[in-house]
Every structure is written in structure tokens, then in C-alpha cells.
A and B are shown apart, each in its own frame.
Chain A
Amino acid sequence: MLNIAATAAEAVAGIHDGATVLIGGFGNAGQPMELIDALLACGATDLTVVNNNAGQADAGLALLIKERRVKKIICSFPRQSDSWHFDAAYRAGEIELELVPQGNLAERIRAAGAGIGGFFTPTGYGTMLAEGKETRVIDGRGYVLESPIYADFALIKALKSDKTGNLVYRKTARNFGPIMASAAKQTIVQVSEIVETGQIDPEVVITPGIYVDTVVKIEPHAQAPAAQEANQ
């Protein structure tokens, strides 16, 4: 049964020290900022975080890293013009980095949610990111064995949920949301709107409620300061 949390703080209250947390978003699109802020406030530490990036500027994931709450990050693209908090932690040797090609990252998360014990992918074959991994030549092409990424929690952002946890997303903010929802023991979702069950056309549901444990409504105006600024 879906837990509808009253606040972001209540939604993330169960996240414990040492947890592995999948955090949705590609850059800021789809990044569940308020849930990350609540995670920062709740004090959980020694986290392993999985995200495409390693935080931007002074918000969201970047602040978790700044506060040294992340012991390890699994991502594809940590270095950006505004990833200064990650850069500082990394250069100080205070965060472990597992660098994964983006498609392998997505497929490893998907595999965890789909009960796949591992898969052979051509991506990365013959490169330093395949070093130490099992490889195989299949029909003349080289492949690397990659393993699923399981997690304790997923924090994602969707546009809308109904009261059974069926989700729809918005544009490229969908990105990692659907696969992360399937790969965690507990999936926590911030949405702009919660509607009655039956109010979302079953044909347009992207993430079925079976994958969703907790939803919390976050007012969209609080979610989109960047867009508002840009429109001014």
C-alpha cells in the first residue's frame, strides 16, 4: 500500500547510515531537490549514491557531497564546470568514485529491477573501464560482463502520482526515474500533484505503482526556481 507522506522529511525518514541511494535526474532535470534537501537535513551519512552526475553548483546532491555524507558515488559524468564540491572532495581523497559509462549505468540499474544477475555489453570493451572485468567474444564481437546495481532507496521526481503510486513524468525529466523506481527496496517519489486513483489513464502510466512505496507532494513553484528565473 502506498505511503503518502506529508513532508519530504517524513518521506526520507527511514534512510539510514550506510545506505545505497539511487538519485534520479540528469543534471537538474528530474533531480528530486526537496528529497535530497530532506536527506541532508535527516543526517544519514556514509551513503553510496548512484546518479548520472556528481552534483551541480550549490544545490541538491552537490550539498550532500559538500557535507561529506557520500562515501562513494557511482556515476558516468562527475566533472562539470560547476561540480566544485565533488572536485574538492575527490581531490582530497574524501569520496570514492566508480565511473561507469552512462548506458552501462542505466542497464545495471534496469538489470537490478528486472532480476538479471549480470549482462554482457559491448560498451567499454577494450577500454580502461573494462579492466579487471570478465570479457567474452560473442559472434566475433567483444563484450564486458557488468553486474546489477541494487539499492536500499531510490529518490526520484515525477510529475504526477495517483493514490496507488502510478507515475507519469515530464519530458526529459523522466531520465533515470522509471529504472531507479524498479531497482530499490524502497522507492520514494516527489511529485507536483497527487490525484485520485483512476484519474491517470492506464495507457499513459510510465511507472506502475508496484514499484513505488512513498510519494510526497512538493508544490511545483518550489521545484522550479531555475525555470522561473530563466523566464524572467
Chain B
Amino acid sequence: MSEKLSRDELAQLVARDIKPGAFVNLGIGQPTLVSNYLTAEQDVTLHTENGMLGMGPEAHGDQIDEDLINAGKIPVTELPGASYFHHADSFAMMRGGHLDVCVLGAFQVSATGDLANWHTGAPDAIPAVGGAMDLATGAKDVYVMMSLFTKDGKSKLVPECTYPLTGVGCVTRVYTNDAVFLISSEGVRVRETFGTTVEELQSKMDVKLLPPLGE
């Protein structure tokens, strides 16, 4: 593709890659955008860690109910077929490998799929982990959505994370505005690039990149 993807185009791409019938948890922030692009035909069921399957879109006006919120504490709606359960069940569902995909943001991802997304490690920062570690560890596939480079041009896909880890070897795909990366035991493979080339990316990254299959 000839241009870098916008945030919405990236969300659309992630949505398209989610298999029909999947049970999915979307993290707070950028991953939430993915829900805007899931189609009815995909029949994807959204899980929210505070005890619900079958979460619908954000609630507005008269729909707002303080007893019906998502993990970001935003009022949401319920879809036909929804169910409620307590917190231990919600996380057992996650840890037990019943969720097909979770989509999370990240500060850094390592070449072996380690995830750092909860803490900058700054000494004055108040740490808060929420459900990030459980999601990273539990879902069958962990997709990360992030910008590939920091504001000062450093790659966030790194040989080893320097920020405190959320989970070890858990990330299977990294969606960025510049490229999609697949992480497996063979290494980091570029699936596709947007407005750049593998060679150009490789010149800015310390992680060894494998070319797209078929090239």
C-alpha cells in the first residue's frame, strides 16, 4: 500500500483480520476503535473484563445506565445474547484460554513477543496494572496496536523491552501505521507495509525483520 495508515484505517484492518464468530476483548484506548469496524456478518462477541459478554456500542442519552459500563468505565449497551458474570469468572474465562483474541496498546513489544504496556518504570509514576497482565497471558492471540516509532524516532518493536513487562512471549501480531508484523518462533516477519519498504524499516530498527512470505 502506498501510504501510512491512519488510526481508523489501522482499526479497520485489525477488525477485518478477526475471524468470524470470535470472542474478543478490546483494550482501552486505540483498540476500542476496532469495534467501529466489526461487521454484523462477522458475528464477533465482545468481552469486557468487568463481567460481560455481548457488549454493544457506547451508550448515549437515555441508554446510559450506571450499572452497565465497560472496562474503561464508559457506559455501554448490551446486545441480544449478552451475559453477565462475576469478576473471578470473567478472568477465568480469559486465563483459561477461551478468548480468541485480545487487542492491546503497547509501549514496547520485543522480538520474542514480550509485551510492555502498563508501566513506564519512572520512579515517581503511580503504577496501575488493571487487567493488562491477565489479558496478555490469557487470550489465544494477542494483537498489539501501536505506532511503530516514538516521537523521537525510536522503534517500539525492540530486541528486548526496556520498560517493565506485562507478559512474556505473548504477542503474536503487531499492527502499526507503517507495517503489520507477525511474531512466531521463526522471528519477526513483516506481513505488509504501508508507504514504506521492508528495507527502509530495517534501516530504522534493531530487530531483524523477515520479508513477507512469497517475496
Number of A-B contacts (CB under 8 A): 150
Determine if A171 is an interface residue (Cβ-Cβ < 8 Å): yes
A123 touching B138, Cβ below 8 Å? yes
Residues of A within 8 A of B51 (CB): 26, 172, 174-175
B87 touching A230, Cβ below 8 Å? no
Determine if A178 is an interface residue (Cβ-Cβ < 8 Å): yes
Determine if A122 is an interface residue (Cβ-Cβ < 8 Å): yes
B131 touching A76, Cβ below 8 Å? yes
Query: Which of A122, A169, A172, A226 lies in contact with B95, CB distance below 8 A?
Result: A122
Residues of B within 8 A of A91 (CB): 126
Determine if B66 is an interface residue (Cβ-Cβ < 8 Å): yes
Q: List residues 189-232 of chain A with CB under 8 A from any CB of chain B.
A: 206, 224, 226-227, 230-231
Query: Which of A102, A121, A124 lies in contact with B49, CB distance below 8 A?
Result: A102
> With A and B bound together, what is the CA distance between A142 and B137 in angstroms?
11
A172 touching B84, Cβ below 8 Å? yes
B86 touching A176, Cβ below 8 Å? yes
> With A and B bound together, what is the CA distance between A170 and B78 in angstroms?
13
Residues of B within 8 A of A172 (CB): 48, 50-52, 67-69, 84
Q: List residues 35-83 of chain A with CB under 8 A from any CB of chain B.
A: 52, 76-80
Q: A27-B73, A172-B69, A230-B75 are in contact. Are A99 and B134 (CB under 8 A)?
A: no
Please, what's the 1-or-0 string for B158-176, where 1 marks a CB less than 8 Å from any CB in chain A?
0000001111100000000
A101 touching B132, Cβ below 8 Å? yes
Determine if A8 is an interface residue (Cβ-Cβ < 8 Å): no
How far, in Å, is B45 (CB) from chain A's closest CB? 16
Determine if A104 is an interface residue (Cβ-Cβ < 8 Å): yes
Residues of A within 8 A of B66 (CB): 28-29, 173, 224, 226-227, 230
How far, in Å, is B3 (CB) from chain A's closest CB? 34
Q: A123-B134, A172-B51 are in contact. Are A179 and B87 (CB under 8 A)?
A: yes
Q: A76-B129, A99-B128 are in contact. Are A227 and B64 (CB under 8 A)?
A: yes
Residues of A within 8 A of B (CB): 26-30, 52, 76-80, 86-87, 90-91, 97, 99-104, 106-107, 109-110, 121-129, 142, 169-179, 206, 224, 226-227, 230-231
Chain A residue at minimal CB-CB distance from B121: A128
Residues of A within 8 A of B91 (CB): 102-103, 106-107
Residues of B within 8 A of A (CB): 48-52, 61-62, 64-69, 73, 75, 78, 84-88, 90-92, 94-95, 114, 119, 126-134, 137-138, 164-168
A101 touching B69, Cβ below 8 Å? no
B67 touching A170, Cβ below 8 Å? yes
How far, in Å, is A148 (CB) from chain B's closest CB? 12
Residues of B within 8 A of A227 (CB): 64-66
B68 touching A171, Cβ below 8 Å? yes
B129 touching A103, Cβ below 8 Å? no
Residues of B within 8 A of A76 (CB): 128-131
Q: A172-B68, A224-B66 are in contact. Are A102 and B86 (CB under 8 A)?
A: no
Q: A99-B127, A103-B131, A179-B86 are in contact. Are A173 and B67 (CB under 8 A)?
A: yes
Query: Which of A86, A123, A128, A169 lies in contact with B164, CB distance below 8 A?
Result: A128
> With A and B bound together, what is the CA distance between A76 and B167 in angstroms?
16
B127 touching A127, Cβ below 8 Å? no
Residues of A within 8 A of B119 (CB): 128
How far, in Å, is B158 (CB) from chain A's closest CB? 16
Residues of B within 8 A of A122 (CB): 95, 137-138
B126 touching A103, Cβ below 8 Å? no
* Ranked 9 nearest A-B pairs via Cβ: A103-B91, A103-B134, A126-B168, A27-B73, A106-B87, A110-B88, A173-B67, A79-B128, A101-B133
Query: Which of A99, A126, A129, A175 lies in contact with B86, CB distance below 8 A?
Result: A175
